Amino acid sequence: MTRPASSRPDLVPGLSSEEFQRWYWLKTELVDFARTLGIRASGGKELLTARIAASLDGRDFAEPAPIRSSGPRQLVGELSAATVIPAGQRCSQVVRRWLEGQVGSGFRFDAPMRAFFAQSDGTPTMQDALDCWHASRNQGERTIDSQFEYNRFTRTWYEEHPDGLREDLLSDWKEYRGRPIDGRGERDRGRSASAGASSRSFRPDGS
């Protein structure tokens, strides 16, 4: 049995599906790899990952039924929990009014919510946005879909570092995404939040 690599492998056709799925990949990397493999390079990260994994295994991949989108690129008019958020949706007043109607005047487009809308690939709904808000309020163990890994990371990071700086968040995220998936529960040690600050420990998976 081949021992799992301890460093991020190259995306090459000979890579095993198991090793491929151990690591975090940017969408641009997945798109390029899909093209290298000669398979479709469209869709969100979860779809690309599943399609590539099937190709590396030599399996046929059943493409999901296309989702019809009848709404405009930017949401307008009356929204509902079932309203699909188009890719590229801004944190607009229309969206703000609907979310304020659900959670009250305390709603704001903070870092987790901005990240949620920035990463929308045209499949989440306003209910997903509402779930993201509640999950990032530190109100229990509500989860965010795996395709929104940055949202989960941001939520956990701010729970552990409520006064943390954005540059520290981004630095930790860069380090975290460079780990294999099965190594992300390990505790970091010895990194300072800023010059002169004490070392902080962080468990990105929230465990």
pLDDT (mean) for 157-169 = 86
207 part of a folded domain = no
Residue 57 near residue 50, CB atoms below 8 Å = no
Q: Do residues 32 and 96 both lie within one domain?
A: no
Q: Please tell me what DSSP assigns to residue 52.
A: H
Does 22 reside within a domain? yes
What is d(CA 80, CA 148) in angstroms, rounded to the nearest whole number?
21
Where does the pLDDT of residue 11 fall: very low under 50, low under 70, confident under 90, or very high at 90 and above? Answer: very high
Do residue 137 and residue 38 come from a single domain? no
Q: What are 103-134's pLDDT values in tens digits?
A: 999 999 998 899 899 888 888 999 999 999 98
**Does position 139 have pLDDT exceeding 70, yes or no?**
no
The answer to whether residues 35 and 82 belong to one domain is no
The answer to whether position 138 is within a domain reads yes
- Looking at the structure of the chain, the number of domains it has is 2
Instruction: Decide if 195 is inside a domain.
Output: no
Torsion angle of C-alpha atoms 142, 108, 83, 43, degrees rounded to 10: -70
Asked if the structure places residue 3 within a domain, the reply is no
Q: Is the confidence at residue 88, as pLDDT, over 70?
A: yes
Asked whether residue 199 is domain-assigned, the answer is no
Average pLDDT over residues 43-53: 93
CA distance 18 to 168: 31
**Selection from 88, 58, 57 nearest residue 71 by Cα:** 88
Structural domain of 124: 67-179
Looking at the fold, whether 160 and 106 belong to one and the same domain comes out as yes
